Structure 1
Amino acid sequence: MSLASMAVTFSETLLDAPGPKGLLKGTLLTPNSKPNAVVLIVPGSGPTDRDGNNPLGVNASSYRLLAEGLASKGFATLRIDKRGMFGSTMAIEDANAVTISDYVDDVRTWVKVLRSKIQTPCIWVLGHSEGGLVALASAPEDDVCGLVLVATPGRPMGEVLRGQLKANPANKLLLKQALPIIDALEHKQRVDTTNMNPALQNLFNPAVQGFLINAFSYNPSQLISILSKPVLVLQGQRDLQVGEADARQLKAANPQASLVILPNMNHVMKEVTSDDLKANITSYTEPTLPLAPGLIDSIGEFLVYNSSFSEK
Structure 2
Amino acid sequence: MNYKIFSFLILFISSVTLAQEKSYTEIEISIPTNSVTINGSLITSRSSEKHPLVILIPGSGPTDRDGNSAMTKNNSLKYLAEALANEKIATYRFDKSVLSFTKDDKEKVDALTFETFINEAKSIIDYFRITKKYSKIIVAGHSQGSLVGLIAAKNNADAFISLEGAGRTLDVIFVEQIELQAPFLKEDTQKIVSELKKGNTVEEFNPMLMTLFNKQVQPFLISWIKYNPQIEIAKLNIPILIINGSKDIQVKNIDAELLHKAAENSELFIVENMNHIFKEINGDLTENMESYSNPNLPIMTNFSDKISTFVKDLK
Distance across 1 between alignment mates of 2:229 and 2:167: 5
Structure 1 residue 261 and structure 2 residue 270: aligned?
yes
Structure 1 residue 187 and structure 2 residue 202: aligned?
no
Q: Secondary structure of 1:122's match?
A: strand
Structure 1 residue 196 and structure 2 residue 202: aligned?
no
> Which runs of structure 2 are paired with 1:69-218 in the superposition (5 Å)?
69-86=83-100, 94-117=108-131, 119-142=133-156, 144-168=157-181, 171-193=182-204, 196-197=206-207, 199-218=208-227
Match of 1:227 among 236, 240, 244: 236
Question: Cα offset for 1:226?
Answer: 2.3
What is the root-mean-square deviation of aligned Cα atoms in Å? Answer: 2.1
What corresponds to 1:65 in structure 2?
79
Unmatched tracts of structure 1, length 5 or more: none
Distance across 2 between alignment mates of 1:303 and 1:90: 42
* Cα deviations by residue, 1:162-217 (Å, 9 ceiling, x for unpaired): 1111122xx12322322211111111110114x632x4112111111111001100
Distance across 2 between alignment mates of 1:131 and 1:244: 17
Seen in structure 2, the aligned counterparts of structure 1 residues 184 and 125 have a Cα distance that, compared at 3 Å, is: same
What corresponds to 2:64 in structure 1?
49
Seen in structure 2, the aligned counterparts of structure 1 residues 294 and 189 have a Cα distance that, compared at 3 Å, is: same
Identity %: 31
Structure 1 residue 38 and structure 2 residue 53: aligned?
yes
Question: Cα offset for 1:131?
Answer: 0.3
Amino acid paired to 2:60: S
Q: Give the number of aligned pairs.
A: 296
Asked if structure 1 preserves the Cα contact closer than 8 Å seen for 2:67 and 2:77, the reply is yes
Asked if structure 1 preserves the Cα contact closer than 8 Å seen for 2:50 and 2:135, the reply is no
Question: Cα offset for 1:249?
Answer: 0.6
Q: Secondary structure of 1:152's match?
A: coil
Question: Cα offset for 1:21?
Answer: 5.2
Amino acid paired to 1:220: P
Distance across 2 between alignment mates of 1:159 and 1:219: 11
Distance across 1 between alignment mates of 2:248 and 2:102: 29
Distance across 1 between alignment mates of 2:102 and 2:85: 24
User: Larger Rg: 1 or 2?
Assistant: 2
Seen in structure 2, the aligned counterparts of structure 1 residues 220 and 106 have a Cα distance that, compared at 3 Å, is: same
Distance across 1 between alignment mates of 2:140 and 2:291: 22
Unmatched tracts of structure 2, length 5 or more: 1-18
Distance across 2 between alignment mates of 1:22 and 1:202: 26
Q: Secondary structure of 2:96's match?
A: coil
Amino acid paired to 2:54: V
Amino acid paired to 2:126: K
